[in-house]
A and B are shown apart, each in its own frame.
Chain A
Amino acid sequence: MKSEILYPGAFPMVRVELEAGENIKAESGAMVACSPTIDIESKMEGGFLGALSRKFLTGEKFFFQTLRATRGPGEALLAPTVPGEIVILELDGVNDYMVQKDGFLAGAEGIVIENKMQGLSRGLLGGEGFFILNISGKGMLVLNSFGAIHKIELKPNQEYIVDNSHLVAWSSTTSYNIEKATSGWVASFTSGEGFVCRFRGPGLVFIQSRNPGSFGAWIRQFIPVSE
Chain B
Amino acid sequence: MTTMSPNALCFGDEFPAAGAPCLVQVEEHGLTITFASDPADGQPESVPYSSLAVSAGGLDHDQLVVKWAGEKGERTLYLKNPDVIRAFRETVPSHLSLPFAQAAEQVRQVRHRRRLVWSLAGGMILSTVLGLWFGSDILVEIAVSRIPVEWEQKLGESAYRDFLSHQEVMKEGPAVAALGEMTQRMTAQILDNPYKFEVTVVKSDVVNAFALPGGYVVVFTGLMKKAESGEEVAGVLSHELNHVLQRHGLERIVKSLGIMTVAAIVFGNQQGLVGMMKQLGVELFTLKFGREQETEADLKGLQLLQRAKIDPAGMITFFERLSEKDEGRMEWLSTHPMNAARADRLKAELAALPKKSPEPFTFDWKQVQVSLGSQPVVAP
Contact = CB atoms under 8 A, between A and B. Distances in A.
A92 B219 CA distance: 57
B8 A94 contact: yes
A94 B285 contact: no
Secondary structure class of chain B's binding surface, majority of residues: mixed
The size bracket of the interface on B is 35 or more
B9 A117 contact: no
Contacts of B17: 153-155, 201-204
Interface string A38-56: 0000000000010011001
A36 interface: no
B85 to A, nearest CB: 13
Interface in A119-134: 119-121, 124-125, 130
A188 interface: yes
B354 interface: no
A80 to B, nearest CB: 23
A172 to B, nearest CB: 5
B289 to A, nearest CB: 13
A98 interface: yes
A88 to B, nearest CB: 13
Interface string A187-224: 01110100000000111100000000000000000000
B129 A175 contact: no
Interface of B: 5-9, 11, 13, 16-19, 21, 36, 57-61, 63, 74, 76, 78, 81, 114, 117-118, 121, 124-125, 128-129, 163, 166-167, 204, 206, 208, 257, 261, 264-265, 275-276, 279-280, 282-283, 285-286, 288, 331, 334, 339, 341
Given A53-B121, A98-B59, A173-B57, 18 more contacts: A49-B125, A57-B125, A93-B5, A94-B8, A95-B18, A95-B21, A117-B118, A119-B60, A120-B257, A120-B264, A124-B283, A156-B74, A172-B60, A173-B78, A178-B279, A189-B282, A192-B286, A201-B11
**4 smallest A-B Cβ distances: which pairs?**
A153-B17, A189-B285, A192-B286, A202-B11
Interface of A: 49, 52-53, 56-57, 92-95, 98, 117, 119-121, 124-125, 130, 153-156, 170-176, 178, 180, 184-186, 188-190, 192, 201-204, 227
29 contacts: A53-B125, A57-B125, A92-B6, A94-B7, A94-B8, A94-B21, A95-B9, A95-B18, A117-B118, A117-B121, A120-B265, A121-B275, A154-B17, A173-B19, A174-B59, A175-B60, A175-B61, A185-B166, A185-B167, A186-B204, A186-B206, A188-B285, A188-B286, A190-B208, A202-B11, A202-B17, A202-B19, A202-B78, A227-B339
